[in-house]
Structure 1
């Protein structure tokens, strides 16, 4: 929530004095009542008799009354109220020694909050104070969204149901996860399952295939519903003409901006999981069998805790790596597998140091976290697959940083991207971004996503006129068949851009939206 008019009026350094709004039934001349908690979106200074063409609503308007008279005060107040301003601040001691009684009477009659600004308080001090409050609110929202993303990321590792449960707790409402037919896959709390029948018609609207869409070709990505005492957002999960499912969220109050961001992150996670090729599981199992090489009961299989190394060969290729392992006693206890661009090596944990020293000549090395094993038995296939991914991520970081050895444990947090298998995630990202690349719109969309959908900021970053950028975004929306003003659509694009941001083919580091201080414009 933005700062309220009551909070601004209460700042002691400003010395603002409310002049309107006495309690009901109070006698004439009674002191003003409490200032309401009206949100203040911005501070606008204007001496125009009619400033409303330059206002959006929600502003605290400041004036010295240069053009105000007893005759036009009522009309002035009517226009401000009609525009929906938060309140009016009137500076005394500049043009008028005191606030004109006609203005006070008109503001009182129209329930417009009128604040007296003392002569020592410059308008810029009020503007700065509101800007600081807005910036603090923005930072709080960003912090909350980041923390929520981390919680959703952790929950996603346990499956879509756990993610839906976590989302319900974050929003303080109920969550339904529906399959493509509209049937309930998960409800949090369980009693929310009964609401699926009420959403059937809206689910059908979101399920429309391309040929059944309205004449304008617009594809619905979400539906917002408002019923007595409840606000519902229904989101489509998946890409293309056939949805993979639906996410419904219900809360007692309308979702604030930060909550929409949290819901968008949940939808993006569910979409990425649902769009991953089903063959990825078989590929991981085949890779694990290659890495193990021999049946688990074979004595040649390393026992105890293990690590996986990803050794990137230089111009000599992978042959020298294998030769070095063959020539050293430590290499006899390792299993090596040449892969495109590097060699994967299963190493007993106790030999990690000697083996990395042995292979340091061949190029950078990525080292996984240890894979434990119980009672001297070999580590499981799934654990080794995870360790291989960790080693490859560490190798990619070592190449970027020009380091000889990089441990996965020393990498920064992997965030949402760390949940994904590289192959399926890159296939999803390449498919989503291919139309933009073909039309030369990728960098424009990247700037638009990095600016969080703010066209002015994106246009400045690209060095183009805002109308040029708007034209490009309309074309991108048509190519992608989605609304780029939808936070969920931008979240999907952010993931795709982050997945494809590293030239070495790996991902898992922070994406393309660098943190920056809030821009007040």
Structure 2
């Protein structure tokens, strides 16, 4: 006998089914198979039993019910007609009860069932139909009890796994004890939190995350696997009123047994507890990390800063490196998921670190006992991981250098955040730079509001560009080339393939249109900053 459990947070529904084979296996019923029907028919689920002597029971027989009859309809319908009507009701089969008047099953009934592909069983005269009903009822009771016991046992095992800190992997281990299914737990940021029998790559994990972002999330997802495209069943894992992850089974819902679906749904609810717990811990850690950065910036409470760093596993007495991460763009972009990924990366690299997420950047303070030139290499590897996790977005990292100990963190922290802010405003510039590597003009531009910068550039270079558009001239290109060649007349003329006198005429026209003379240092700085503002 098979079982199906459908469980919601408030009620437990247990639907149990039996098969013809399970009835035949009950020796007390003395059932004999006369027509087995199509292959596998004896193992198909049966809804219930229905005792009838109507020549046409089809209006009353439910789908997959087993019809019990003594053949009293024989005077009103032929065996073929009766079988056709039973077949019309899509019944599971017929059990013919022998009695003194019919000591054997009519051959025409056997023939009709064989022609219709309908299973036919025979029951001895000594066994009443009520005994069949009682046997079925007993099976239901037994299976309901077994299902409840199984559900409770699995619930206890899941609760134990979570309480002992086994996490999502422990939940999957419990599931795999009863069901050999390919499983994974993926969160909405595309991180594979656990896997058992399933190996999802980054692209597949991102596809799951994209599915979780839909409202409502789908019940199934198409995933590209090595063996081709497959439908995977998705069981949402919610925490704090939202869908934060999913339990994925690399099988379609139609390929799962009801008991397997029930077990997956139950596990998803326990995973919700685990996700909520992790989120609470992360929120507390982020709050403490943010408070620590405020202490560093304020320049006081040095002893408390050291103590908090130690709580994160960071050696406050040793060298500390600082860098800030963000997504580049003209406006501040959300850093959602960036702090978690940075923490995972540094943990996997075996580097104790404090990671604090903010609205515009993510700051990492880490123990650093390597040469300082290796810090940019670490940041580049981290950015590669970020770009894989968030395709289509560009991440940047500003390096603040290395402080000898916790008391010297303030300046590296300021430098890291300022460098990150400059890089964030440069969509095509370098992705990793230290504070000292950035030109002074870049740092100055990074301190100015982006709208102010665009207005400054537009006002100063607007007449120049209008002239180029109207006359088809190359004054802006000439100015860029002149500044790129450090104001050297001959080198600029050679680069533009023009005579020096032509260059002088163009620069004179630029001075007329902009009011800035490239021969004056302060005017040349204005023109240089106006051009540089476009990439900041």
After TM superposition, is the score higher than 0.5?
A: no
TM range (shorter): 0.3 to 0.5
Pick the structure with more helix per residue: 2
| TM-score of the pair, normalised by structure 2 | 0.43
Pick the structure with more strand per residue: 2
Larger Rg: 2
| TM-score of the pair, normalised by structure 1 | 0.44
